[in-house]
């Protein structure tokens, strides 16, 4: 009748990892590049601009990215960890990825510290093993 909480935690963490990987994949998708076929929004003479690199008149709020080499619709920034821009089409997935990844990292640190306390290990030993391991993994995944 009673559910073991360790069993739920054991299922919850891998599900978070799968959701984080899936949202990372979606965040790396097309950010919404401006194309020639798109009819630009009405621009007055004061706010008209033409991208000389792409040879198009992009819609308003689009910006040319030097690293991608294309104009991106509603460009937020070029993310070095994703290897692409965060724009109109992948901004939501990028925010979801950051949220899920933050929760996963918090659970990992919290649970690893609880295991260290159960084994009567010192804080220094926990810091040198679990926390630094998590930082190295984070740098390896995101760097």
Query: Is 79 a residue of the active site?
Result: yes
Of 79, 85, 133, 137, the active-site residue reads 79
Would you state the pLDDT for residue 108? 75
Residue 73: name the closest of 110, 103, 31, 40 by CA: 31
Q: At residue 4, does pLDDT exceed 60?
A: no
Identify the band that residue 39 occupies on the pLDDT scale cut at 50, 70 and 90: low
For residue 77, the surrounding DSSP H or E stretch is strand 77-79
| Residue whose pair of structure tokens reads 């008209």 in the numeric block | 48
For residue 1, pLDDT beyond 50:
no
CA distance 36 to 39: 8
Greater confidence (126 vs 56) lies with 56
Structure tokens at 115: 């295991």
The predicted-structure confidence for 81-108, as pLDDT tens digits, reads as follows: 888 999 999 999 999 988 888 888 787 7
Encode 70-92: b = buried (16+ Cβ within 10 Å), e = exposed: bbbbbbbebbeebebbbbbbbbe
Mean pLDDT across the stretch 30-38? 78
């Amino acid at each position: 009748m009673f559910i073991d909480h360790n069993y739920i935690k054991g299922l919850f963490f891998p599900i978070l990892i799968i959701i984080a990987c899936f949202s990372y994949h979606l965040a790396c998708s097309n950010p919404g590049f401006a194309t020639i076929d798109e009819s630009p929004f009405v621009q007055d003479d004061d706010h008209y601009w033409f991208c000389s690199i792409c040879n198009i008149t992009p819609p308003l709020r689009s910006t040319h990215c030097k690293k991608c080499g294309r104009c991106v619709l509603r460009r937020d920034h070029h993310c070095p960890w994703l290897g692409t821009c965060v724009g109109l089409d992948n901004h939501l997935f990028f925010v979801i990825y950051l949220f899920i990844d933050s929760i996963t990292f918090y659970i990992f640190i919290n649970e690893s510290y609880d295991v260290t306390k159960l084994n009567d290990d010192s804080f220094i030993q926990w810091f040198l093993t679990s926390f630094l391991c998590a930082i190295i993994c984070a740098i390896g995944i995101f760097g």
